[in-house]
């Protein structure tokens, strides 16, 4: 086993162990992938102010996200097909998050179902991410299932009314489970750990959908249904409808514009996520970290602001916090850990990010995450409203 010191080490190992179509699904963006790449590179342009001779004892990264205590300002992002990075991936990631003390967010397009995660994690509260489909009866049932499973927040994704073009997925013929073409069989044969794990689980299809939608009882009809179900008519009135149905903590994901942020405040949601869907939707959109300060400035303290996109280290978390984000979501970072080493790999991801966050915070002269603001950043290197 190679020595793992950072998220890049986990990415390299995941690339070796996960079949190409599923690794590429996680590690790619739409079109030219410029927004996907800028999400990461724009973090690197922000420089930190090192401070000295500050008492560094008794450091704390604990804070809250939507009123929930968290060990650090980080949540695991909702990612589709997580159970194809590693057998039972959503369950393993949820367990790792529970042990570490941060939220896990389950995607509508997960392989393990809401009930699977609830039952296998001791009904530990987790968050559920919702895609709005044209089949509103299905959406109502899905929300009710999330309530029954004890989910403590609903994350409503607003930027996937239509699907961005992702070239690698098209070339790979992405499907779950993978189609047994000669190309795929040969590639899977080089990933024995992954294959043995998949043989040992019955969870190989979209658990929140198959068996819960009229007419979709197996994988042969699922792709046809999903292709026709993302609702391009989704609007702010639908957000109001969902808020009433849910009745609990609501987080709106996919905000990249100041005007949209102001409209989100008017819905009465509890938080927004500044997010460009990891660069997987509108290629050419701004990076999330660049968009963050103007949105924070526009909404003030009227709604909690979170962000995702490009977070690969604890330093990234600290920079986002300094620019006004109450919390960050990690997607690819935890998927690399999951693909590389299963639950142990997700735990390793969280340990790495926490250690980087803790040490960098201290080097910048702070011992409590609650006192961090943009004064820890070098003037002229960070985006401003």
Mark the binding-site residues for glyoxylate, compressed into ranges: 25, 131, 166, 277, 280
Buried b (16+ CB within 10 A) or exposed e, 336-353: bbbbbbbbebbbbbbebb
Annotated binding site: 25, 78-80, 107, 129, 131, 157, 166, 253, 275, 277, 280, 308-312, 331-332
- How many C-beta atoms lie closer than 10 Å to residue 218's C-beta? 9
Annotated binding site for FMN: 78-80, 107, 129, 157, 253, 275, 308-312, 331-332
Active site (catalytic) residues: 277
* H or E element at residue 242: helix 236-246
| CB contact at 8 A, 24 and 368 | no
Partners of 304 in the β-ladder: 271
Partners of 155 in the β-ladder: 129, 251
CA distance 250 to 161: 19
How many Cα atoms within 13 Å fall on the side-chain side of residue 11?
12
* Structure token pair of residue 102: 């941060």
* Structure token pair of residue 64: 């809250």
């Amino acid at each position: 086993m190679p020595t793992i010191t950072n998220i890049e080490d986990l990415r390299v190992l995941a690339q070796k162990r996960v079949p190409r179509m599923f690794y590429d699904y996680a590690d790619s963006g739409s079109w030219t992938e410029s927004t996907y790449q800028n999400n990461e590179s724009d973090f690197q342009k922000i420089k930190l102010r090192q401070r000295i001779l500050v008492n560094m004892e008794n450091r704390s990264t604990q804070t809250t996200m939507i009123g929930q205590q968290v060990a650090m300002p980080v949540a695991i992002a909702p990612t589709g097909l997580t159970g194809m990075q590693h057998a039972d991936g959503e369950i393993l990631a949820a367990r790792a998050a529970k042990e570490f003390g941060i939220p896990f967010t389950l995607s509508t397009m997960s392989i393990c179902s809401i009930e699977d995660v609830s039952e296998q994690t001791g009904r530990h509260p987790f968050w559920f991410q919702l895609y709005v489909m044209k089949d509103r009866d299905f959406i109502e049932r899905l929300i009710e299932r999330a309530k029954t499973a004890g989910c403590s927040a609903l994350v409503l994704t607003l930027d996937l009314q239509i699907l961005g073009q992702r070239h690698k997925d098209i070339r790979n013929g992405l499907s779950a489970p993978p189609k047994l073409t000669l190309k795929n069989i040969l590639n899977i044969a080089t990933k024995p750990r992954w294959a043995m794990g998949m043989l040992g689980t019955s969870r190989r299809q979209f658990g929140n959908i198959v068996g819960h939608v009229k007419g979709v009882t197996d994988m042969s009809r699922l792709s046809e249904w999903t292709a026709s179900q993302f609702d391009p008519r989704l609007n702010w009135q639908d957000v109001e409808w969902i808020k009433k149905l849910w009745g609990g903590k609501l987080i709106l994901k996919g905000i990249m514009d100041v005007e949209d942020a102001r409209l989100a405040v008017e819905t009465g949601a509890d938080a927004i996520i500044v997010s460009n869907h990891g660069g997987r939707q509108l290629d050419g959109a701004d990076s999330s970290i660049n968009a963050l300060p103007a949105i924070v400035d526009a909404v003030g303290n009227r709604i909690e602001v979170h962000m995702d996109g490009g977070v690969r280290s604890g330093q990234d978390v600290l920079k986002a916090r300094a620019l006004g984000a109450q919390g960050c979501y990690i997607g690819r970072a935890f998927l690399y850990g999951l693909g590389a080493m299963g639950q142990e790999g997700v735990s390793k991801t969280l340990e790495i990010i926490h250690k980087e966050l803790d040490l960098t915070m201290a080097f910048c002269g702070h011992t409590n995450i609650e006192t961090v603001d943009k004064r820890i950043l070098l003037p002229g290197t960070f985006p401003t409203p």
